[in-house]
Amino acid sequence: MKQVIYTLFLGGCLFLTSCKDKCKDIVCENAGTCNDGVCECTEGYEGESCETLSISKYFGTYLVTPSEEECEGLSILGQNIDLSQFINNGTDPFVLKVSQDGSSINKVLLQHLTDPSVLNLKATVNGSSFVIASQPGETTTVLSFDLSSDVSGSGSFSQNQINISLTKVRSAANQTSECSQTLSGTKQ
């Protein structure tokens, strides 16, 4: 009888150690949960312990080259206006800063580093692509009228590259013109 109890006790100990909780010593950050010894991260986080904000790999500065802005014609007071003389249509490379927009774990700021009035947009990231919802852009004056713009677009990150397609709807004197521009850059 002693032998049976001893065998059952030993078997129970072996059984319990083989059923050890693999998550006992695992700490998953940012509301991640442990499953069979591995952290399963909530949306927006990654890493062994869910310690890394997923979009942080895109943060930094990029040397960006813009294309020339292509615009439809605009007619104000019966006069056809060539917008190229009124808008900042530089094609010189500039430094674009990508940083977190504190409002969400999947939003970034895209800012012209030396002149944020030229480009200062918020984007929502999904994987390696992003969407720029319509938001106010720069304003200038055309024939005593304010030429305002609403900017929207999309883009993507690929390794150390960023590509952005922008649509700018420019308005003056109840008239609108749609402009398009692309920006491509490499992370510095």
How far apart CA 25 and CA 78 sit, in angstroms, is 75
pLDDT, position 13: 46
Q: What's the fold here for domain 55-187? A: Porin (2.40.160)
Least Cα distance to 152 among 180, 186, 171, 117 occurs for 180
What are the residue boundaries of the structural domains of the chain, listed by start?
A: 2-50, 55-187
Per-residue pLDDT, averaged over 29-53, amounts to: 96
Q: How would residue 47 be classed by pLDDT, with cut points 50, 70 and 90?
A: very high
- Single-letter code of the amino acid located at 99: S
Q: How would residue 42 be classed by pLDDT, with cut points 50, 70 and 90?
A: very high
pLDDT, position 10: 45
Per-residue pLDDT, averaged over 70-77, amounts to: 76
pLDDT, position 86: 58
pTM listed for this prediction: 0.79
In our burial notation (b when 16+ CB lie closer than 10 A, e otherwise), range 6-32 reads eeeeeeeeeeeeeeeeeeeebebebeb
Please identify which residue in the block is written with the tokens 């590509």. Answer: 163
Q: How remote is the C-alpha of 135 from its chain's centroid?
A: 15
> pLDDT tens-digit profile of 142-172?
777 787 889 999 999 999 999 999 998 988 8
